[in-house]
């Protein structure tokens, strides 16, 4: 949708906004006219405008600090970092300019779920998903090493390129320290929230351990065609409520294979290498692996000799630990998965047996401000 808005910086520089790209619970993202790949995020009504502008100003300043320079040194940049504070001419909305991630990436959901993968990444295989899981773990490990906590880690904030490289947006909601000041994390999203943060009072800060829980959720989804690890109808006959309810009650086939009922179309648990299954079990029911541990383990699974290509379909790639092709198995059971390049099915509807997201994302997250 074309718009007619102009934003200005405190120094008097002006940018014309070209179209509305998307919106979330806090703000709206617009394209920016010009040769540089930029977008603008505007927040018309933050709960505390003064605090929000202060947070943005600190993030813009941190862009020049060594720890942030290291994070942004890669090409393409791995984070859509706030570059300059802007306001609309009539001062009814604050915001910032950032890199347009669409210039080098596509939304992670286009790799995560079967139907969009077929259309947007037709050559992607399980190896691509493994590369994305490893890239995400490395990115999160680097963020944690520099003192940042994402807090609202989820597919809607993540981007992926054709080779599995991952980038992240919505930096303005992160938790970080600037000198003696701590700016707490402000968001969480149902289905992508660590158990200790579910139902806590608004404003309760996250930590790296809560990020690590959600990282494990995303690794599982990337490697199992979008299947949420806490998906499934309760096997005890209780009604399905949500992923979060299953999280709190420990309903997860990796922890207890008899705790949930999944459809025949669900990828088998032994699709995953043994080491990855062990790390997932620890993440959901023991001592959570750090992002750095995940990055090392995932890189090892992508090493030469650890992957096998199906003799029937070159688009079927799986771990060497699996003696036969899981994608052929699923196709034989009538499942329509994007492990098969020819997959044609839509992701199942959101819910207990589905492999689609619970559609909360940017439109249904909890605002902790």
Q: What are phi and psi of 206, to 5 degrees?
A: -80, 175
- Measured over the CA atoms of residue 137, residue 139, residue 143 and residue 149, the dihedral's sign is negative
- Measured over the CA atoms of residue 83, residue 89, residue 95 and residue 98, the dihedral's sign is negative
Average pLDDT on 181-209 reads 91
Q: Which is higher by pLDDT, 24 or 168?
A: 168
In this prediction, residue 282 carries a pLDDT of 98
Structure tokens at 134: 């490893």
204 falls in which pLDDT band (50, 70, 90)? Answer: confident
Query: Is the pLDDT assigned to residue 364 strictly greater than 80?
Result: no
What is the number of other CB atoms lying within 10 angstroms of the CB of residue 293?
Answer: 16
Percent residues over pLDDT 70 in the chain: 89
In this prediction, residue 201 carries a pLDDT of 83
358 falls in which pLDDT band (50, 70, 90)? Answer: very low
Q: What is the DSSP string of 73-106?
A: -SSS-SB----EEEEETTSS-EEEEEE-GGGT-E
Percent residues over pLDDT 90 in the chain: 76
State the alpha helices, DSSP H only, in 240-366.
Answer: 243-248, 274-285, 291-301, 326-332
Q: Which is higher by pLDDT, 23 or 363?
A: 23
Q: 188 pairs with which residues across the strands?
A: 366
In this prediction, residue 367 carries a pLDDT of 41
State the alpha helices, DSSP H only, in 7-159.
Answer: 49-62, 66-71, 109-112, 114-120, 126-145
Q: 74 pairs with which residues across the strands?
A: none
Average pLDDT of the chain to the nearest whole number: 88
In this prediction, residue 335 carries a pLDDT of 60
331 falls in which pLDDT band (50, 70, 90)? Answer: confident
* CA dist., res. 216 & res. 341, Å (int): 25
In this prediction, residue 1 carries a pLDDT of 63
DSSP-derived 3-state class of residue 39: strand
Q: What is the DSSP string of 201-250?
A: PTT----HHHHHHHHHHHHHHHHTTT--TT-SEETTSPPP--HHHHHHTT
Query: Is the pLDDT assigned to residue 52 strictly greater than 90?
Result: yes
State pLDDT tens for residues 71-116.
899 889 999 999 999 999 887 889 999 999 999 999 999 999 988 9
pTM exceeds 0.85 for this model: yes
Q: Write the secondary structure of 164-206 as one string of H (helix), E (strand) and C (coil).
A: CCEEECCHHHCEEEECCEEECCCEECCCCCCHHHCCCCCCCCC
State pLDDT tens for residues 133-181.
999 999 999 999 999 999 999 999 999 999 999 999 999 999 999 989 9
Query: Is the pLDDT assigned to residue 348 strictly greater than 90?
Result: no
In this prediction, residue 23 carries a pLDDT of 84
In this prediction, residue 243 carries a pLDDT of 97
DSSP-derived 3-state class of residue 12: coil
Determine contact, residues 82/96, Cβ cutoff 8 Å. yes
Determine contact, residues 222/112, Cβ cutoff 8 Å. yes
In this prediction, residue 26 carries a pLDDT of 77
Query: Is the pLDDT assigned to residue 254 strictly greater than 70?
Result: yes
361 falls in which pLDDT band (50, 70, 90)? Answer: very low
In this prediction, residue 202 carries a pLDDT of 73
């Amino acid at each position: 949708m074309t718009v007619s808005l102009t934003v200005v910086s405190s120094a008097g520089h002006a940018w014309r906004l070209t179209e509305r790209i998307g919106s979330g619970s806090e703000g709206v993202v617009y394209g920016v006219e010009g040769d540089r790949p930029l977008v603008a995020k505007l927040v018309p009504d933050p709960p505390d405008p003064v605090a929000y502008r202060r947070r943005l100003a600190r993030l813009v300043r941190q862009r020049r600090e060594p720890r942030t320079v290291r994070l942004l040194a890669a090409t393409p940049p791995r984070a859509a970092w706030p570059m300059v504070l802007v306001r609309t001419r009539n001062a009814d909305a604050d915001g910032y300019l950032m890199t347009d991630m669409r210039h080098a990436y596509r939304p992670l959901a286009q790799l995560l779920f079967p139907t969009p993968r077929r259309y947007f990444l037709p050559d992607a295989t399980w190896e691509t998903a493994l590369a994305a899981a490893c890239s995400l773990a490395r990115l999160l490990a680097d963020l944690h090493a520099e003192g940042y906590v994402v807090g609202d880690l989820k597919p809607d904030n993540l981007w992926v390129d054709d080779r599995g490289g991952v980038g992240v947006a919505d930096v303005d909601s992160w938790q970080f320290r600037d000198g003696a000041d701590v700016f707490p994390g402000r968001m969480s999203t149902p289905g992508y929230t660590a158990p200790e943060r579910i139902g806590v009072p608004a404003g309760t800060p996250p930590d790296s351990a809560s990020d690590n829980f959600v990282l494990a959720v995303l690794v599982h989804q990337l490697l199992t065609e979008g299947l949420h690890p806490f998906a499934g109808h309760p096997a005890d006959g209780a009604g399905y409520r949500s992923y979060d309810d299953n999280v709190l009650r420990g309903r997860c086939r990796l922890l207890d294979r008899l705790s949930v009922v999944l459809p025949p179309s669900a990828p088998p648990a032994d699709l995953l290498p043994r080491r990855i299954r062990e790390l997932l079990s620890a993440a959901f029911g023991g001592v959570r692996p750090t992002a750095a541990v995940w990055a090392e383990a995932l890189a090892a699974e992508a090493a030469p000799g650890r992957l096998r290509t199906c003799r029937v379909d070159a688009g079927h790639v799986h771990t060497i630990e699996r003696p036969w092709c899981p994608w052929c198995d699923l196709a034989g059971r009538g499942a329509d998965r994007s492990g098969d390049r020819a997959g044609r099915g839509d992701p199942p509807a959101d819910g207990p047996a589905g492999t689609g997201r619970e559609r909360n994302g940017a439109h249904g997250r909890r605002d902790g401000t």
